[in-house]
Amino acid sequence: MIRFGIVAIVGALVPFAVPQYALTVIVAALIFGLFAMSLDLMVGYCRLFSFGHAAAYGLGAYSAGLILIHWKLPLLIGIALAVGITVLVAIPIAWICTRSTGVSFAMLTLAFAQLGYAMLFRFRDFTGGSDGIAGIPRPPGPFGMDWFQARNGYYFLVLGCLLGSYLLCRAIVRSPFGAVLAGIRENEAKTVALGYNTRAYKITTVVLSYGFGGLAGALYAGFAGYASPELFFWLTSGHVLVMVVVGGAGTLVGPILGAVFFVFLEHQLSQVTDLWPLAFGAIFMAFVLLAPQGIWGFLARVRKDSNAAA
Amino acid sequence: MPLLECRGLVRRFGALVAVDGVSLAIEPGEIRAVIGPNGAGKSTVFNLITSTLKPHAGEVFFAGEEITGLPVHRVAQKGIARTFQRCHVFPALSARENVRIAAQARDVRRWRFFGGRTVVAASLAVADEALEQLRLTRHAGMRADMLSHGDQRLLEVAMALAQKPRLLMLDEPTQGLSIEETDRAVQTLRGMLKKGDLSVLLVEHDMEVVFKLADSITVLHRGRVIADGAPDVVKTNVEVRRAYLGESG
């Protein structure tokens, strides 16, 4: 809790210490960090490898975008509604996908994300097709609040959502419910034999994961001011999965670090070369081969070794 | 009324009739062993009772209630705990957490998302008691996969005990253990079983283990019950000796 407090305080001071253009990259990184952490609930705690988590991101972003444009609801209410919509849509998806496991689970999640992608083009009038939707506002309120309209304010909104979601997720994985997820990860057949309806636990985890992913997507819509079909695309699902693995699955913090790492890397390299995806791939391979526990697992090991040496 | 009653269970695998009209009953407090040569259908009967396999015919009653074909987790919730022939534990979790998760399975508050400190405390108390009964207390903090094979087997029994079952089903609890480990496991199991009034169904093919633990024995051969009774009666039964002990007389 002390470490969490330090992170929160440092996070709150960031806007006063960095140049404004850097803050934009940081907000993008934090949003992707939240997105990666949401996937970690599935991948790291339930060993459910989703290859379609872009569905959650895209759903959150498009719902928030359309609500804010057409209904002009206050930003915070629009984001909350977008999360609610994502959760509702996630329930049947989770119900169907958890009928299978392993590779078929991954393929089903991918299929749903691609279905969402295809629907953007089918309902062009509503979703803008390949142009996406632009001009998403940040309407003020409720209670006349408008602090999140400025760049600094939006940073605080994103930081608050990330820290709050982290606390929620951490409480969930440490709860009695979370202990059952550990059982499912370690040995699902045994968990069933003990009397747990593991399918219900998996459905709940997928829905929770989509909920937090939807929040990330909704925050992105308000941040970027537009939503494009690539949010739903399988490449987004792939990227976020790589971030989780490189950051360290099953740690919550790791995937956030993984996402921050890759967003900054992309930002730096894309200014130099168009071939930055090559570096992305090379780093992924290096981690899988040399540090399969990811960034966070690697740091934990280094710290343990230095403690042992001291 | 028997605690568990199977009536005319049939299960086929393709052309093979693995279990062919098996009926058996376990009274409250009884320790019954199911024995038979390899391929006699012991494990299949076990899996039919726990609903891991669905029978093609026949019924299973538990405490007077039909449980045939219920989902596996519902059968466990009725109060039937099982161990697996190939040891099933949670390898990366501590022995204590293994048993705690088992204990939590019977807690109505197992769905708690947040906090749940009282749930954890309650299940820890049950877990520590079960570990004590299996003499595993000193290994409680170890990762399950760091335990010896014999201790992993006992850990699985501790998990089953922590479920507070009315019927405990053990699938070859000494399989793959050395002679010393088997002796220790049998002693521990006997100490544990003699104390309580737990009903037990034991599948085992080590005859010494069976005679040390069981009150009564059901003998299977080619999917059928060929003998049923007290250990010494079954021991002298001619048909059993022919099928099982390989005597031609």
Out of B89, B110, B120, the one facing A180 most closely (by C-beta) is: B110
Residue B249: per-residue pLDDT? 39
Residue B246: per-residue pLDDT? 60
Q: Which residues of B fall within a CB distance of 8 Å from A176?
A: 104, 107, 109-112, 116, 119-120, 123
Q: How many CB atoms lie within 10 A of CB A88?
A: 15
Nearest CA in chain A to B145: A186
Interchain CB contact of A170 with B (< 8 Å): no
Average pLDDT over residues A252-265: 93
Phi-psi region of B4 (alpha: psi -120 to 50; beta: other; left: phi over 0): beta
- How do residues B45-82 score in pLDDT, each as one tens digit? 999 999 999 999 999 999 999 999 899 999 999 999 99
**B153 is a domain residue:** no
Report CB contact under 8 Å: B84, A172.
no
Out of A171, A183, A197, the one facing B101 most closely (by C-beta) is: A183
**B151 is a domain residue:** no
Cα-based distances in Å from A141 to A34, A137, A149, B46:
24, 12, 10, 63
Q: How many CB atoms lie within 10 A of CB A19?
A: 7
Q: How many residues does chain A have?
A: 310
Beta bridge partners of B26: B4
**Distance to chain A for B96, nearest Cα, Å:** 12
Q: What is the average pLDDT value for chain A, to the nearest integer?
A: 92
Report CB contact under 8 Å: A175, B116.
yes
Phi, psi dihedrals of residue B148, rounded to the nearest 5°: -65, 160
The pLDDT-based confidence of A133 (bands split at 50, 70, 90) is very high
Q: How many CB atoms lie within 10 A of CB B187?
A: 12
- In the sheet with B224-229, reading across from the earlier edge strand, the strands are B80-82, B167-171, B199-203, B31-35, B216-221, B224-229
**B232 is a domain residue:** yes
Sign of the alpha-carbon torsion through A56, A61, A66, A67: positive
Q: Which two structure tokens, joined as six digits, stand for A165? A: 């979601």
Q: Which residues of chain A form beta strands (DSSP E)? A: 133-134, 226-227
| Locus of tokens 């919509």 | A85
The pLDDT-based confidence of A272 (bands split at 50, 70, 90) is confident
For residue B22, the domain's CATH number is 3.40.50.300
**Which secondary-structure segment (H or E) carries A55?**
helix A54-70
Instruction: State the DSSP string of A272-298.
Output: H-TTHHHHHHHHHHHHHHH-TTHHHHH
Distance from C-alpha of B43 to C-alpha of A175, rounded to nearest angstrom: 36
CB A170 within 8 A of CB A228: no
Domain extent for B17: 1-68+167-173+198-249
For the CA atoms of chain A, what is the radius of gyration?
19
Distance from C-alpha of A19 to C-alpha of A192, rounded to nearest angstrom: 53
Residue B245: per-residue pLDDT? 60
**Which secondary-structure segment (H or E) carries A117?**
helix A102-122
Which amino acid is residue B204, in one-letter code?
A: E
Distance from C-alpha of B4 to C-alpha of B68, rounded to nearest angstrom: 12
Out of A177, A187, A192, the one facing B72 most closely (by C-beta) is: A192
pTM for the complete prediction?
0.91
Q: Which residues of B fall within a CB distance of 8 Å from A172?
A: 113-114
Distance from C-alpha of B48 to C-alpha of B24, rounded to nearest angstrom: 12
For chain A, domain boundaries: 23-234
Interchain CB contact of B61 with A (< 8 Å): no
Q: Which two structure tokens, joined as six digits, stand for B12? A: 């086929």
Report CB contact under 8 Å: A192, B73.
yes
For chain B, list residues with pLDDT below 70.
238-249
Interchain CB contact of B127 with A (< 8 Å): no
A102 burial class (0-12, 13-18, 19+ CB within 10 angstroms)?
A: exposed
Candidates A199, A186, A180, A173; CA nearest to A255 is: A173
The pLDDT-based confidence of A81 (bands split at 50, 70, 90) is very high
Q: Which two structure tokens, joined as six digits, stand for A244? A: 């989780």
Interchain CB contact of A183 with B (< 8 Å): yes
Residue B163: per-residue pLDDT? 94
- How many independent structural domains does chain B possess? 1
- How do residues A193-251 score in pLDDT, each as one tens digit? 999 999 999 999 999 999 999 999 999 999 999 999 999 999 999 999 999 999 999 99
**Residue A72 confidence (pLDDT) above 70:** yes
- How do residues A44-71 score in pLDDT, each as one tens digit? 999 999 999 999 999 999 999 999 999 9
Cα-based distances in Å from B166 to A108, A110, A128, A294:
40, 44, 62, 45
**B231 is a domain residue:** yes
Q: How many CB atoms lie within 10 A of CB A4?
A: 13
Distance from C-alpha of A170 to C-alpha of B189, rounded to nearest angstrom: 39
Candidates A289, A290, A269, A267; CA nearest to A279 is: A269
Report CB contact under 8 Å: B120, A172.
no
